[in-house]
Amino acid sequence: MTDCSAPGAHCAGGVGFSGGVTSGVYTSGGGNRRYVKPKQYEPIDPFALTGRLAFHLKGNQVEQPHEGLAQWFSSRFGILSKQVEKYSLEEFLEKFSQFLKETLLENILAIEIDYYSVYKDRKDKSLNDLDNAIAAARDYVSHHKDANKILISALGKTKLEPRKDLHLTVESQYYRKHGSGKPGMELHLTGIPSILLPRKKETNYEYKTREIELSKNLNKPRKRKDFMKGSERTLEIVMKDYANHVKKFFDVDSVESLWKRENHPGMGLVKQNR
């Protein structure tokens, strides 16, 4: 296996005062002093970046109806055909747990199998959160051989300079059997700039004051644009890194990648690699 392509893309891993930072000044002219009205700065509205990685896996098989009208539609148009991935749910859990460990996505929020909750995040969780979550999923699968879909949600964080750092929520889903031609595995990412979120042990007053100061430093449109671009580049790095890690554990035929900024859906970058 190769080394991580972007070690900064993962890191182990989190409102009261209302007012503004103001700065008034006095000017003099002709012996008169005039007070210049201070400029008010409001906190930057938090924004989220969302991304999707869709993996078409190798080694799958297509199931078709064998008789009747259904067989005719399937053979002519591909309708009613089902694609079966080569990885069993047990194999997927084994490989994907390694992906989660390598990318430090060990804070598991939930695992659902066929829409049934088999694991939920707990306040009193132990340090081996990932191990407990995967063990619960394996136990369920062992008693439900016909299970088809697994959904895993986890938290993560990058480790970059403050204005490019992201808090991440990563949701993965795997279908053993699904519509023909559709991806068997997907990752859905949501990234929020860490600098826009409260810090541990930070009071509401401290958080609000810090956010207003950030807004003051980014008071020009170009500065805010650069700040957003930095977050977008971080998400691109994370998505490329996650795709490389997935390829280390799964036989991937092709990957589709798409991301956008939620408050400006038309400004996102769309990439497709087939």
Is residue 215 in a domain? yes
pLDDT in tens, 43-62: 777 789 999 999 999 998 88
Is residue 53 in a domain? yes
Is residue 28 in a domain? no
Q: Which domain holds residue 141?
A: 40-59+86-273
The region of weakest confidence among 122-131, 199-208, 259-268 is 259-268
Q: Which residue has the higher pLDDT, 134 or 32?
A: 134
Is residue 21 in a domain? no
> 25-34, 186-195, 263-272 — which one is most confidently predicted on average?
186-195
Is residue 18 in a domain? no
Structural domains in the chain (count): 1
What was the pLDDT predicted at 9? 86
Is residue 7 in a domain? no
Closest residue by Cα to residue 197 from 52, 67, 45? 45
Written in H, E and C, the secondary structure of the chain is CCCCCCHHHCCCCCCCCCCCCCCCEEEEECCEEEEECCCCCCCCCCCCEEEEEEEEECCCEEECCCCHHHHHHHHHHCCCCEEECCCCHHHHHHHHHHHHHHCCCCEEEEEEECCEEEEECCCCCCCCHHHHHHHHHHHHHHHCCCCCEEEEEEEEECCCCCCCCEEEEEEEEEECEEECCCCCEEEEEEEEEHHHCCCCCCCHHHHHHHHHHHHHHCCCHHHHHHHHHHHHHHHHHHHHHHHHHHHHHCCEEEEEEEEEECCEHHHCCEEEEC
Is residue 8 in a domain? no
pLDDT > 70 fraction of the chain, expressed in percent and rounded: 76
pLDDT band at 94 (very low <50, low <70, confident <90, very high): very high
pLDDT in tens, 97-130: 999 999 999 999 999 999 999 999 876 655 668 9
The region of weakest confidence among 12-16, 18-22, 229-233 is 18-22
Arithmetic mean of pLDDT over the chain: 82
pLDDT in tens, 234-264: 999 999 999 999 999 999 999 999 988 765 4
What was the pLDDT predicted at 20? 36
Above 60 in pLDDT, residue 182? yes
pLDDT band at 33 (very low <50, low <70, confident <90, very high): low
Mean pLDDT along residues 21-39: 52
What was the pLDDT predicted at 71? 54
Is residue 72 in a domain? no
The region of weakest confidence among 61-75, 126-140, 148-162 is 61-75
The region of weakest confidence among 16-20, 75-79, 102-106 is 16-20
What was the pLDDT predicted at 185? 97
